[in-house]
Amino acid sequence: MITATRQVPHATPTKSADHTRIRLLIHGGAGAILREKLALDREQAHRRALTDSLHAGHTVLAAGGSSIDAVIAAIVTMEDSPLFNAGKGSVFNHEGRNEMDASIMDGDSRMAGAVAGVTTVRNPIRAAHAVMTQSKHVLLIGAGAERFATEQGLEISDPGYFYTQHRWKQLQQAIASEQIMLDHDADAESAASDNHEKHGTVGAVALDCFGNLAAGTSTGGLTNKRYGRIGDSPIIGAGTYADNRSVAVSATGVGEMFIRTAAAFHTAAQVRLLGTPIDQAAAHTLTEIAAIGGEGGLIVLDPQGRYAMRFSTGGMYRGTIGYDGIAWTGIFTDN
Amino acid sequence: MITATRQVPHATPTKSADHTRIRLLIHGGAGAILREKLALDREQAHRRALTDSLHAGHTVLAAGGSSIDAVIAAIVTMEDSPLFNAGKGSVFNHEGRNEMDASIMDGDSRMAGAVAGVTTVRNPIRAAHAVMTQSKHVLLIGAGAERFATEQGLEISDPGYFYTQHRWKQLQQAIASEQIMLDHDADAESAASDNHEKHGTVGAVALDCFGNLAAGTSTGGLTNKRYGRIGDSPIIGAGTYADNRSVAVSATGVGEMFIRTAAAFHTAAQVRLLGTPIDQAAAHTLTEIAAIGGEGGLIVLDPQGRYAMRFSTGGMYRGTIGYDGIAWTGIFTDN
């Protein structure tokens, strides 16, 4: 009698620490983010939030922490910010609830964890990590995933915690216009503040001083979504992938297209199988997505610290930080 | 304002029909299936069920039907058989319910659909197909997926429909021994009838007379599973993938490992990016899975009608049929 699957790390040679190679990349969603439509205070707020996330991850890496812990620290910071469509600030589904998804993967062991359709876990990325480390499984969904997170002692929040007024207005607008809206798409009323926001999924990829990669992604999905719709964020291979033999990837965009093209894994596969430079690999993945009518962005990082932040949309909230601790943030095509 | 994702088929040149190229492959799960442990009547019953499935798909293909419709016909036949861990005959979760997953993908348009955690849809593969063709989404889960299936007019069954005595015994045994069992693993009492059964997921890949590929997979998951655990079967890129530019793939085995290796997409990627012969590509995918401690099987089919049925377990229920309509079935390594 064989018990269920166990995530078996493969043997890892002991690696020496090199604190100069640490690197973290983050994204806070891609979309039609245009400089002329983004109010300066909104731009500054987003840049501050991205910078906070970069510093949170950098603190972990600089102290010799693992890439997994850096990814968690960076993503938790964005989940806790109301500016992004993940954790607090998640969009509302048709029933007026926040239904969140997240995934995480360790590039050394290729262990992975994910949750989908959770409504009360304050930090879905922590739940994904608990699935990876404390269960034999990779993907848990719905009430079962919440029960697991609760049993693991993760912080459970009242639904009111996730509420933000502008997401609620977006839902009412969407219901009125019978549209399923992408992430935090604009509505007519709040166009000035929201028109720049799309695909507000957050993600991070990190390289630690031991040369290990990790990737993670977290999202609130689509405004007014129904029927338990799940996008690419909790899907290992679509929204998230990490493999020390190639790259770590986190994606954001039209989730369905990223699933159909196995976007994160495809990016890694090009690097591993063909030796494609990572920027070209990311660009080709976006070309594949465009061929079926999709758009979005990717952050990609390899074990040498080379990285790419590619998007086919007007802009992507993004940033990176390395050994020197100087946070770089970008939003538009020209930064 | 942009509404949610739409699955956009890419332009397809008109293809001429060639009825001699049709091909269907199916699997009914891989596991420690040994000739000396499988009673002759059980072997014959499985071979008959596989043959019925092959004929159902062949009837579609021979009449000029699409590879998608052939995959559905073949899988519905196995879902309706109590012998396989899909549809009727699905294993029970910890709460004594049948929680089923399925996915389907069209190699021409690369459109895809999937459902996870459905409990009342008689044929989960039909629900996956409805998601692909009647929604803008790829993956729907839980109660939302059931509501969608109901609204689409799919057949809803009383939970009693899915009940089979030997699955119920397996659950009681598993609960007693506190194990999460893989598919229809053996229990001590029914070892004679069940010991050959593992990873009883079903799947099909087909090539139609127009040269279009399709793939689908359907499963009842793990006996005694908890927490809304989802395996690879409903994950596009892990359990199922189809792309006319490379191959159609359906997988069965330790789902977590197939997710972590993006098994179906990885097989397709080797063919598309490197031109790897399909049998080698399938073998390499299984090597990747073995490297992280997993096992299972794959069926793979390309647009020229070349195919592979590979497994790293003791056996795999499998079969194929082509233009001549002669069904071939295999169970053990030596057929």
Where do the H-state alpha helices sit in B178-277? 191-194, 255-260, 263-269
ipTM of the complex: 0.91
Of the CA atoms within 13 Å of residue B100, those in its CB half-sphere come to 34
Output the pLDDT for position A193.
Answer: 38
In a domain, B7, yes or no: no
Instruction: Name the domain count of chain A.
Output: 1
Report how far residue A70's alpha carbon sits from residue A107's, in angstroms, rounded to the nearest whole number.
Answer: 13
A-chain residue closest to B93, CA distance = A144
In a domain, A287, yes or no: yes
Q: Crossing angle for the helix pair A124-134 and A142-151, nearest 10 degrees?
A: 80
Write the CA distances from B206 to B35, B228, B324, integer angstroms.
28, 31, 15
In a domain, B316, yes or no: yes
| Residue B93 tokens, joined | 């979760």
Establish, for the pair of chains A and B, how many residue pairs have beta carbons separated by less than 8 Å: 215
Question: Average pLDDT by consecutive 10-residue portion of chain A (335 residues)?
Answer: 49 76 97 91 96 98 98 98 95 90 98 96 98 96 96 93 90 81 40 46 98 97 90 98 98 96 98 98 98 97 98 97 98 94
Query: At residue A16, what is the residue type?
Result: S
Contact: B141, A117; criterion CB under 8 Å: yes
In a domain, A21, yes or no: no
The per-residue pLDDT for range B291-325, each reduced to its tens digit, is 999 999 999 999 999 999 999 999 999 999 999 99
In a domain, B179, yes or no: yes
The per-residue pLDDT for range B323-335, each reduced to its tens digit, is 999 999 999 999 9
Report how far residue B298's alpha carbon sits from residue B283's, in angstroms, rounded to the nearest whole number.
Answer: 9
Output the pLDDT for position A186.
Answer: 38
pLDDT band at residue B175 under the 50/70/90 scheme:
confident
Contact: A260, B236; criterion CB under 8 Å: yes
Report how far residue B108's alpha carbon sits from residue B211's, in angstroms, rounded to the nearest whole number.
Answer: 9
Write the CA distances from A318 to A88, A229, A262, A329, B242, integer angstroms.
19, 26, 22, 6, 33
Q: In chain A, which residues have their Cβ closer than 8 Å to the Cβ of B228? A: 140-145
Sorted by sequence, the CB contacts under 8 Å of residue A114 that are 6+ apart come out as A101, A102, A103, A104, A128, A131, A138, A139, A140, A234, A235, A236, A240
Q: In chain B, which residues have their Cβ closer than 8 Å to the Cβ of A254? A: 5
Output the pLDDT for position A247.
Answer: 98
Sorted by sequence, the CB contacts under 8 Å of residue B48 that are 6+ apart come out as none
Q: Burial level of A151, CB count in 10 A (0-12/13-18/19+)?
A: exposed
Query: Mutate which of B105, B134, B136, B139 to test chain A, going by most A C-beta atoms within 10 A?
Result: B139
Q: In chain A, which residues have their Cβ closer than 8 Å to the Cβ of B231? A: 139
User: Edge-to-edge strand order for the sheet containing A229-230?
Assistant: A229-230, B139-141, B112-118, B100-106, B213-219, B202-207, B23-31, B315-322, B328-332
Q: Burial level of A17, CB count in 10 A (0-12/13-18/19+)?
A: exposed
Write the CA distances from A83 to A77, A124, A202, A312, B203, integer angstroms.
11, 16, 10, 22, 43
B-chain residue closest to A223, CA distance = B4
Check if the beta carbon of residue A265 is closer than 8 Å to that of residue A282. Answer: no
In a domain, B8, yes or no: no
Number of neighbouring beta carbons within 10 Å of residue A191: 12
Q: In chain A, which residues have their Cβ closer than 8 Å to the Cβ of B243? A: none
B-chain residue closest to A110, CA distance = B260
Query: Mutate which of A95, A101, A141 to test chain B, going by most B C-beta atoms within 10 A?
Result: A141
pLDDT at residue B222 tops 70: yes
DSSP A210: T
Query: Mutate which of A33, A184, A235, A260 to test chain B, going by most B C-beta atoms within 10 A?
Result: A260
Catalytic residue list of A: 201
Contact: B228, A198; criterion CB under 8 Å: no
- We report the CATH number of the domain holding residue A40 as 3.60.20.30
Residues of the domain holding A308 = 27-332
Output the pLDDT for position A84.
Answer: 95
Who among A6, A7, A262 is closest to B262 (CB)? A262
B-chain residue closest to A296, CA distance = B5
In a domain, B85, yes or no: yes
- How large is the greatest C-alpha to C-alpha distance in chain B, in angstroms? 64
Report how far residue A105's alpha carbon sits from residue A229's, in angstroms, rounded to the nearest whole number.
Answer: 22
In a domain, A84, yes or no: yes
pTM score: 0.92
Q: Average pLDDT in the B47-64 region?
A: 98
